[in-house]
Chain A
Amino acid sequence: MRRFLFTIGHKTLSAINQMGDMTIMLISAFSWAFIPPMRIRNIFKQMEFIGVKSIFIVILTGLFTGGVLALQSYYAFRKFGGESLLGATVALSMTRELGPVLTALMVTGRAGSAIAAELGTMRVTEQIDALAVMAINPVKYLVVPRIIAGILVVPILTVIDDFVGIVGGYIVGVWLLKINPGIFMAKMIEMVELSDIFNGLFKSVCFGLLLTLIGCYKGYHTRGGAEGVGRATTEAVVVSSVSILVGDYILTSLLF
């Protein structure tokens, strides 16, 4: 029993410790972000890596999420004749919750893990030390461009996901379930407000920051060779995913 409590205490302390370290890394990245050189090319490279290469997977998830959302809602709404609300339901769910969250989770799986693996490899092969020895701050050179790219790209991907999700809902609702397209669109436009979309995008900015920061942090502090890189990658995905879901709850309760 004492051992059990000890383990819990130890884990909690270590989690708090890591949150502190991450905050320090974020502050350090923030202060370095405004010191020239700006390394615009590095930022673009990371935007391409995080963004362009995630578009396909985001479109795929968006399409099917929107589709299944329409299908499920249809069976529920039919019981009380509320099928006309289908478009609005899909659009609201996508823009407020599913778009930002699913996009962030997909980007975590694809890019967050890759960031942790890349920085982790650079750490264990002493490439990060080599940067520092050459008088180049590794946080500025490696972490800052990735975080900026995450903040810029994840919202763009979210917009795509929102849009494709609504298209998916439209395909299922109008083409398969034969809902009147005019009503589908009219209800959607009536009920979705600009603030829904913007709050969703604000979330995705936070998630973009979160997943790149955690990926960088886990990679940056990798220890123990190739095995350590594997561990860092897994941890980055798990911690990012949980943080995104918890963060989503917190943001939803604050924003809406």
Chain B
Amino acid sequence: MIKLVDLHKSFNNLKVLDGINLEINKGEIIVIIGRSGGGKSVLLKHIIGLIRPDAGHVFIDDIDITRLKEKDIYKIRRRFGMLFQDAALFDSMTVGQNIAFPLAEHTDLSKREIAEIVAGKLADVGLSGIEDKYPSELSGGMKKRVGLARAIALDPEIILFDEPTTGLDPIMTAAIDELILGIQRRLNLTCVVISHDIQSTFKIANKIAMLYEGKITETGDPESFRNSENPIVQGFLQGIPEDKIISS
């Protein structure tokens, strides 16, 4: 369903992606792991066309979005939802208006119908009745859940999660993991999750890919990942600093 082919991207001489190849199938949860600042967010933004690569291709169902014009990319994006690292809620709008926003922009639904959907999506993420609060009044975990409600407002096929559990306490982390699993099963979504949280990763992933030095060094199911002989993978899983892996 999603296929990345030999993706390259640099920012002012800083090589961030250096030949990414990755295939993501329909209905699976793939977790991409890697160190902070390693280019995970940049990789995710390529999938949805927010960043254009210097070279390489991004195929969404055989359409190469790197070749599309801005307007045509917008059509493809309607099939996506994205949860940003800090939720990226519009802070000039209430929670209800945030979730209603994509519906009001892209559908002809009446105000009443939209309000019903908003209430339903909030219930989906376990936050019924907070429509009139502003994002600044919410905790980090609540913001992420509202961000998720907004991401699923238009019933997308694919959801991208940028570090959904970073910065949350263990209980909220577990709650978000459950939420991702629940929503994925119920709506049969394809999920691309970025994480450096190893526990969450093994809990939700069908497939794991590790990003290292701008390349995918390893992909596989969680079991094969745990047993991987790749020192970089083992180093990351066990939390060994990088310089020690290289020297050993």
Interface residues, chain A, with chain B CB atoms under 8 Å away: 121-122, 125-127, 129-130, 132-137
Closest to B76 in A: A135
B74:A129 contact, CB within 8 angstroms: no
Main secondary structure on B side of the interface with A: mixed
* B63 CB to nearest chain A CB (Å): 15
Spot the interface stretch: B78-86, B214-222, B228-236: B78-86
B74:A135 contact, CB within 8 angstroms: yes
Contact of A130 among B70, B74, B75, B82 (CB under 8 A): B82
Q: Which residues of B contact A137 (CB under 8 A)?
A: 70, 74
* B114 CB to nearest chain A CB (Å): 14
**Alpha-carbon separation in the docked complex, A137 to B77 (Å):** 12
**Alpha-carbon separation in the docked complex, A180 to B75 (Å):** 70
The size of the chain B interface, using a CB distance under 8 A, is: 22
Closest to B162 in A: A126
The 5 closest A-B pairs by CB, nearest first: A126-B88, A130-B88, A135-B74, A126-B84, A135-B77
A127:B106 contact, CB within 8 angstroms: no
A125:B88 contact, CB within 8 angstroms: yes
Given contact pairs A132-B50, A135-B78, a sample of 13 additional A-B residue pairs in the complex whose CB atoms are under 8 Å apart = A125-B86, A126-B84, A126-B85, A127-B88, A129-B88, A130-B88, A130-B89, A133-B48, A133-B80, A133-B82, A134-B106, A135-B105, A136-B105
In the complex, whether B134 has a CB less than 8 A from a CB of chain A is: no
Interface residues, chain B, with chain A CB atoms under 8 Å away: 45, 48, 50, 70, 74-75, 77-78, 80-82, 84-86, 88-91, 101-102, 105-106
Q: Which residues of A contact B86 (CB under 8 A)?
A: 125-126
Task: Return 11 A-B CB contacts under 8 Å, by A number.
Answer: A125-B88, A126-B86, A126-B88, A127-B90, A129-B50, A130-B82, A132-B50, A133-B77, A134-B77, A135-B78, A135-B105
**Alpha-carbon separation in the docked complex, A127 to B102 (Å):** 13
**Alpha-carbon separation in the docked complex, A37 to B119 (Å):** 27
Q: Which residues of B contact A122 (CB under 8 A)?
A: 90
B101:A134 contact, CB within 8 angstroms: yes
**Alpha-carbon separation in the docked complex, A122 to B86 (Å):** 12
